[in-house]
Amino acid sequence: MTGSLVESFETVLESMRAAEKAAKREPGSVRLLAVAKTRPAEDLICLYSKGQRHFGESYLQEALEKQKHLAAYDITWHFIGPIQSNKTRGIAEHFSWVHSVDRLKIAVRLNDQRPDYLAPLNVCLQVNVSAEASKSGVTLEDLPALVAEVRKLPNLQLRGLMAIPSKTQGFEGQRVAYRLLRESWDRLSGCGIDTLSMGMSGDMRAAIAEGATLVRIGTAIFGERN
């Protein structure tokens, strides 16, 4: 099992380097976030031993359990799941990054609940680039106002944007949604904006072609979730 996990991990890193090259981007300019939801702590330790430090989680309770087991490891934890109000305290206290902030109420709670002894919480705003009512994320129209408000919150550091587009077949089709996100990101000039969180197992190449600085990969590393 462990052997195949390491192999898949290394294959993903190779695909990332190939996609960077195809897009004429700097080697190593895209960071891998290993999305470890539903995976046991041992799998994270295995990847840690291969140099992986950034891990993404979607479910707070599950993440807190794993963090307890892994307290001795120098892991940077990213929260990437939907955020209900009653989860903000746990996220503010136990994560370095949140990718899924999509409304001011949640941002204000995270800001108020971020402990003084920790650095500001790194935040990406989740944008709905597929214009589907069912998908979470701030609309492109409402994004500038949310950016302006989040920038006023001293315990949050706005780092960039994130999106989960609706599933589209084909490289060119996948690029369309990511291009929209990148164009919004390009307009967010200003201090601290360095993260374009886009690309999952099924569309990583398209995201890297469009300028992703971080890809969030679960299935391609760990296999199908059950």
Looking at the Cβ atoms of 136 and 151, the one nearer to ligand PLP is 136
- From the CB of 202, what's the least distance to ligand PLP, in Å? 6
**DSSP string for 42-68:** HHHHHHHTTT--EEEES-HHHHHHHHH
Looking at the Cβ atoms of 180 and 212, the one nearer to ligand PLP is 212
- From the CB of 72, what's the least distance to ligand PLP, in Å? 26
Q: Which residues lie near ligand PLP (CB under 6 A)?
A: 35, 37, 58, 80-81, 164, 200-202, 216-220
Q: How many Cβ atoms sit within 10 Å of the Cβ of residue 217?
A: 24
Looking at the Cβ atoms of 31 and 37, the one nearer to ligand PLP is 37
Looking at the Cβ atoms of 12 and 23, the one nearer to ligand PLP is 12
Rg (C-alpha) for the chain, rounded Å, is: 17
- From the CB of 117, what's the least distance to ligand PLP, in Å? 28
* Backbone angles phi and psi of 97, in degrees to 5: -135, 150
- From the CB of 152, what's the least distance to ligand PLP, in Å? 26
Helices (runs of H) and strands (runs of E) counted in the chain: 9, 9
Q: Report the alpha-carbon angle 150-90-75, nearest 5.
A: 90
